[in-house]
Structure 1
Amino acid sequence: MASVFRPVFLAPNYTFHISVLLPDANVTCIIPDDCILPCSFRPTGTVVIHWYKQQIPVHSYYYNKDQFGLQNKHFSGRTCLFNSHIPHGNASLLLRRVKVQDKGRYKCYTSTRKGNQELFVNLEVKALIHSVVMEMTNETVTCLSQNIYPVPQVTWTTDPPSAQGALENSVIKTTDHKGLFTVMSTLRIVGNLSNITFFCYFTSADKSQVWTASRKNQVDISHEEGHTLSIPCIAPQNVQNFSLTWTHTSLKEPTVILKYDTKTRHTFNLWEGEATLDQDRLLLGDASLLLHKPNVEEHSGTYTCSFSGLQSKHTVQIRVNITVSSISEDEQKVQRSWWSTAASAAFVLFTIIVALPQCVRQRGLEMRTVSHRHNGADFIEGGSSKGVDTTASFIVRQHGAECDRLQLQIETQSEMASSAPNTAEVCTADLPPGTEIEQEEKPEGPPEEGNDGLLSRSEEGDGF
């Protein structure tokens, strides 16, 4: 009995005579981006397309439309073909929002009336290193990066260089429910960490990416308020297309006080008028912050300067203590001398305005009284004027001594306060108009005619 050839039918009912095998294609996709798995065939009318991952149905197409009845739920809603390109021989698969679990070997199966074809695609996935956070304590330096795949390599260096073996670090790796890694590397240091720049490098598994983080803790600064202060921040290497951020932390949460972007040349300055940057030096990597008139309450605290560039970040941290302004001994002497001079001048001014005019008026009054008694009708016939002269002289001398003492005190104070006016000139200038100051006269000869050398009754009563 002759054998009969029976064709094999698949849905739809196509007869296959030829099977073509092509070499594997290798594709690497970035998590969580979309990814294309390539596949092409020779178009000859209608076609059947099946995508599998290790026998797991991923996507199917026949009867000129997508078929999702057998699709595995892991790929549900995340796959599609380029339907408009299928008649031209394109059976590539678009896989959306790639995950760690998507990695593996995929098969693209195509079938036409002239034969079928199998093409394999090896899919690798990776999650890029987007940032590295670096922290420092008194004893350790730590670098941390999250959502990475696969595990990167971590290395350390310092500037100035550290002794060999001093940079031994411990690495802790953990995974989340998505299969992404969190990597933390801790470097334990013995000694002072100030003014040492630490570098940690995260290198991806395929060596295509190196992310650098560096940090430096400057020595604390104490600065007197009111005097201009420059807070240093210099990048350890040439940086281009970076953004700069200055942060100030006191008793409250950190506050961004200044930001600058070299691409847009845009500057944000919360402390406008209080803090500035040198734009020319900034482009050379010197981002030192200039405080014009720092004060204790507002400007003391911790300052953090950060350069953020392409796959790199450099941080400088420094504590600033603004102190109350102190006065030197020479300045104190000058102040004491000034206050002493001012006090002397005030005393002289007070004396001139209040005490001296009263003295002058009192002296004028006494002199007029003496003159009246000497020339009036109260003299006693046959008496002597000696008693009158003696009494007048005593009264004038008594009040004159007070004025002389006051004048001497004013002159003494005037010498201490060079700005005080001359006492004698003031005394003369303040006399009422028409007032004459009479000096004490001593009788040189016999009494004038008309007095006859007689004493007044008042003088006899006083016993002179």
Structure 2
Amino acid sequence: MRSNHSCTVSSAPYANITCIIHDDCILPCSFRPTGTVVIHWYKQQIPVHSYYYNKDQFGLQNKHFSGRTCLFNSHIPHGNASLLLRRVKVQDRGRYKCYTSTRKGNQEIFINLEVKALIQSVNMEMTDETVTCSSHNIYPIPQVTWATDPPTAQGALENQTTIKTTDHKGLFTVESTLKILDNLSNHTYFCSFISADKTQVWTASWKNQEDITQEEGHALSISCIAPRGLQNFSLTWTFTSSSEPTVISRYDSRTRHTFNLWEGQAEPNQDLLLLGDGSLLLHKPDSEEHSGTYTCTFSGLQSRHIVQTKVNITVASISVDERSVQRSWWSTAASAAFVLLTVIVALPQCVRQRAVETSTASHRCNGAGQRWTDGLSAV
């Protein structure tokens, strides 16, 4: 009797699939449906998922894939043997084989699975000596580049150190630190994280502006201009004095929503905001309340730009007229005080002198009266 089962195995070229770490991913596989089918998924030689006797079989499944795989069972009769892999991990990357067997023959399809963790954000910090960019939970390792505005010679940006570490999940943290040259401290520093497949570019920038000193009571504008072409951004102003940073203003260009903690004291110009000018206007700054560090942050799609300014509000000085009036007042007050002191010192002496004079006069009067009486007696 001739068997209807063919022993030939057909195979297809590799299919390259890239999946996002922590997301679910489909590894495609199709076959020509002819009755019952046996399906086996392998990673190299490791059993990933099996299906036969019209149901899933987990007896030989490797524990790394336990609870994370399934087939589209209702689609199997239509020739769909694709595998759904849940919560993709770094360790899932590699070559997979989809083996199907029907009475018409066997088939092998190979899938090359690459995984990646997207760049979510870039953090930037600046001190007097260094500027540092970092990003967390990335895969594979991104490329980091530096630039300045105004531009500098390439050699000036070579003094940098990049550290790459991995966590228990295999994800990378990349931190790049650049030493600032003395003559470049007022430049804007840009760092860019470029994904390994070049599909993502995250850019951050930082500028330390010159310190501002202003007398209290006089309006003051703190400059903050967005990079060219920045659209759909949010703007945040924070203030730091002796305590933790305080968010004093927020603006979203998409919703036009504004939050202002210092309403009536400080605010950006609403008309200029749409043009990318987020400068903050302090109406009547106070030496105690408004002296500190102001940080302006523009956040856009895959970008963050920071401008930091130290502001010192001084106590109001006195004008020439005010000083003249004040000197006149003090002179008058001093004269009055001198006269009062003189009176206080002299008064007791006058009182004592008057008492002495009164006593002497009384004594003289009594003596004269006695002599007159004695005279009468003699007569």
Length-normalised TM-score, structure 1: 0.69
Alignment deviations for residues 297-333 of structure 1 (CA, whole Å, 9 cap, x no partner): 2211111110111111000111111111111224322
Shift of 1:17: 3.4
In structure 2, C-alpha distance between the alignment counterparts of 1:189 and 1:121, rounded to whole Å: 47
* Native 8 Å contact 1:18 1:114 kept in 2: no
Shift of 1:281: 1.0
> What pairs with 1:107-122 in structure 2 (closer than 5 Å)?
107-122=97-112
Q: 2:211 is matched by which residue type in structure 1?
A: D
> What pairs with 1:108-147 in structure 2 (closer than 5 Å)?
108-147=98-137
1:334/1:193 Cα in 2 relative to 1: closer, same or farther (>3 Å)?
A: farther
Partner of 1:455: none
Partner of 1:207: 198
Partner of 1:387: none
Shift of 1:224: 1.1
- How many residues are aligned here? 333
In structure 2, C-alpha distance between the alignment counterparts of 1:63 and 1:255, rounded to whole Å: 65
SS in 2 for 1:326: coil
Shift of 1:340: 9.1
Task: Find out whether 1:82 has 2:75 as its counterpart.
Answer: no
Partner of 1:51: 41
Q: 2:279 is matched by which residue type in structure 1?
A: S
2:250 to 256, 259, 269: 259
Q: 2:86 is matched by which residue type in structure 1?
A: R
SS in 2 for 1:165: helix
Structure of higher CA gyration radius = 1
Shift of 1:185: 0.9
SS in 2 for 1:211: strand
Q: 1:255 is matched by which residue type in structure 2?
A: T
In structure 1, C-alpha distance between the alignment counterparts of 2:207 and 2:217, rounded to whole Å: 27
Partner of 1:173: 164
In structure 1, C-alpha distance between the alignment counterparts of 2:195 and 2:272, rounded to whole Å: 34
In structure 2, C-alpha distance between the alignment counterparts of 1:267 and 1:304, rounded to whole Å: 17
SS in 1 for 2:289: helix
Relative CO higher for 1 or 2, CA cutoff 8 Å, sep ≥ 6?
2
Q: 2:56 is matched by which residue type in structure 1?
A: D
* Native 8 Å contact 1:228 1:293 kept in 2: yes
Shift of 1:163: 2.6
Alignment deviations for residues 175-213 of structure 1 (CA, whole Å, 9 cap, x no partner): 111111111111112205543100011111111111101
> What pairs with 1:275-286 in structure 2 (closer than 5 Å)?
275-286=266-277
In structure 2, C-alpha distance between the alignment counterparts of 1:133 and 1:279, rounded to whole Å: 28
In structure 2, C-alpha distance between the alignment counterparts of 1:279 and 1:205, rounded to whole Å: 40
Alignment deviations for residues 82-130 of structure 1 (CA, whole Å, 9 cap, x no partner): 1111111111111111111100000001111111110000000111111
Partner of 1:154: 144
Partner of 1:98: 88
Q: 1:50 is matched by which residue type in structure 2?
A: H
In structure 2, C-alpha distance between the alignment counterparts of 1:246 and 1:78, rounded to whole Å: 44
1:273 to 264, 268, 277: 264
SS in 2 for 1:154: strand
SS in 2 for 1:331: helix
Q: 1:63 is matched by which residue type in structure 2?
A: Y
> What pairs with 1:311-322 in structure 2 (closer than 5 Å)?
311-322=302-313
In structure 1, C-alpha distance between the alignment counterparts of 2:74 and 2:220, rounded to whole Å: 67
Q: 1:22 is matched by which residue type in structure 2?
A: A
Partner of 2:11: 21
In structure 2, C-alpha distance between the alignment counterparts of 1:52 and 1:251, rounded to whole Å: 60
Q: 2:229 is matched by which residue type in structure 1?
A: N
Shift of 1:334: 4.9
In structure 1, C-alpha distance between the alignment counterparts of 2:330 and 2:124, rounded to whole Å: 60
Shift of 1:146: 1.0
Partner of 2:338: none
In structure 2, C-alpha distance between the alignment counterparts of 1:194 and 1:231, rounded to whole Å: 19
In structure 2, C-alpha distance between the alignment counterparts of 1:230 and 1:46, rounded to whole Å: 77
Alignment deviations for residues 267-289 of structure 1 (CA, whole Å, 9 cap, x no partner): 11111111111122111111001
Q: 2:10 is matched by which residue type in structure 1?
A: V
Partner of 1:186: 177
Unaligned runs of 5+ in 2: 334-379
> What pairs with 1:36-47 in structure 2 (closer than 5 Å)?
36-47=26-37
In structure 1, C-alpha distance between the alignment counterparts of 2:33 and 2:10, rounded to whole Å: 14
Tell me which protein shows more strand as a share of its residues: 2
1:303/1:192 Cα in 2 relative to 1: closer, same or farther (>3 Å)?
A: farther
Q: 2:41 is matched by which residue type in structure 1?
A: W
Partner of 1:366: none
In structure 1, C-alpha distance between the alignment counterparts of 2:90 and 2:245, rounded to whole Å: 36
SS in 2 for 1:69: coil
* Native 8 Å contact 1:145 1:182 kept in 2: yes
Partner of 1:308: 299
In structure 1, C-alpha distance between the alignment counterparts of 2:52 and 2:254, rounded to whole Å: 51
1:239 to 227, 230, 238: 230
Alignment deviations for residues 399-456 of structure 1 (CA, whole Å, 9 cap, x no partner): xxxxxxxxxxxxxxxxxxxxxxxxxxxxxxxxxxxxxxxxxxxxxxxxxxxxxxxxxx
In structure 2, C-alpha distance between the alignment counterparts of 1:26 and 1:74, rounded to whole Å: 22
In structure 2, C-alpha distance between the alignment counterparts of 1:340 and 1:170, rounded to whole Å: 64
* Native 8 Å contact 1:143 1:200 kept in 2: yes
Shift of 1:73: 0.6
Which segments of structure 1 move beyond 2 Å, counting only runs of 4 or more? 14-18, 192-195, 328-331, 333-337, 339-343
